[in-house]
Amino acid sequence: MSDRKTIAFWCEKSGSSDETFAEFHVNLWHFSNKKREDFFEIGVMVDDPSVLSSIKVFVPFKLGYEQIGDLGSKFIEPNLAQGIFNETLAPEFAPNKRSIELNSGVGTYCGVHIFSTDNARINQSELGLQPIDGGTLLEITSAALNSLARQSNPKVRPGYFRLRLHPQISRGRPFVTYITPTDKALGSGYEAIEYIDCRLNEARTVPAAVATAASEAPHGVAKMKRVVFLAVVPVVSSVTSSHAEWHKSRLLENEIWEDYVPQGLDDGMVVYHWRKIFDAKDEKMLQGFSAFVKMQTRKADISLIFIYVGISLLLGVLGSVVASYFLSSSGGDDSVRLSFPSSIIHASEFPDSCLKNECLGGYSTGD
């Protein structure tokens, strides 16, 4: 069974003599609001889509077509395209609207595929789904690859695919584990600890059935050039440790990303960027990468605050009830009577008004 932390990906070549390179992107969007669901995105960039027969991605969750969204059409927005690739780009639709060509100053940076749809869902002829080992194997088919390649004929340019995945998890969030503080009940505020654990092509944790499927590619797989992992988290969350120093980080610009994210951005979100570049001479079939990030966030539990207020009110009410009980049991006389031995205090030391019980609530000098 999948450990719910490992993603596997590979690009199958259409011929044994064909050579191309690929890079893989994973973006995890993590929100602090418990009512919002996390999601993640996968992107695949291939130098030459025409020499591939399929792109396969294993994710450790069960998915249906209703949980997968195509992000290709989003790249028509110049600021968004530039924000994702960190390049100055001018997007334009291909003549048949099946791709968006991102043009740079020296030519076409890449073409972004737009999947065909059927009833508002990605058409199965371009994206296949297969349940495997507790997760799902996604296959970007030759139909999608050939469609993207045709947009640039006769020239060859890189092709890019980008999908958003919304896994339905009964407990927790994808790739994020929350640790309940032991002192949570002792105060209205506490330090919440979460960690992100996402493994890409890690041989030790890739399910055996998935590794076998990759090894059985008839003409081999494309070489991996680079893996990029981005974690988008609330700015109030401090990254206290990670598997490696991040490549860079920045605050997301609301005016660019607000419409890109379902339900918009939370107030203040920052993106941390890790990457691993592989040696072109490495013949290893599945190039691995592991992302481990520990975060700490100061939180306030509103329910605990209400509990504390309720306890305070209850103690006040109980105090009043106890005081009333003792007053009623003393006969209802609310004066305080003091008795002093005559050997200590003589009546002549007090004024007449006190002798008439008009001060100190009354007293007596009985022996």
Mind listing the pLDDT tens digit of every residue in the chain (367 residues)? 445 689 999 999 998 777 899 999 999 999 877 788 899 999 999 999 999 999 999 999 999 999 999 999 999 999 999 999 999 999 999 999 999 999 998 889 999 999 999 999 999 999 999 999 889 999 999 999 999 999 887 788 999 999 999 987 766 688 888 777 665 555 556 677 888 888 888 888 889 999 999 999 999 999 988 999 999 988 878 777 676 667 788 899 988 899 999 888 888 899 989 888 887 666 565 667 787 888 877 766 566 566 667 777 888 888 888 878 777 776 555 555 545 555 555 555 555 555 455 554 444 444 4
**pLDDT the model gives residue 154:** 74
Q: Please state, in angstroms and rounded to a whole number, the distance separating the CA atoms of residues 242 and 170.
A: 27
Q: Phi-psi region for residue 76, left (φ > 0), alpha (ψ -120 to 50) or beta?
A: alpha
96-105 long-range contacts (CB < 8 A, ≥24 apart) are 96/151, 98/147, 98/148, 98/151, 99/72, 99/147, 99/148, 99/151, 100/72, 100/73, 100/75, 100/76, 101/151, 101/152, 102/75
**pLDDT the model gives residue 311:** 78
Show the tokens assigned to 302: 């509103």
Helix (H, G, I), strand (E, B) or coil at 213: helix
**pLDDT the model gives residue 282:** 63
Residue 182 identity (one-letter amino acid): T
**pLDDT the model gives residue 187:** 57
The CA R_g of the chain, rounded to the nearest whole Å, is 34
**pLDDT the model gives residue 302:** 61
Query: Would you say the pTM of this structure is higher than 0.75?
Result: yes
Half-sphere exposure at residue 237, Cβ-oriented, CA atoms within 13 angstroms: 27
**pLDDT the model gives residue 363:** 47
Show the tokens assigned to 58: 């294993």
**pLDDT the model gives residue 73:** 96
C-alpha to C-alpha distances, 284 to 10, 172, 201, nearest whole angstrom: 12, 33, 11
> What does the DSSP 8-state code read for residue 166?
-
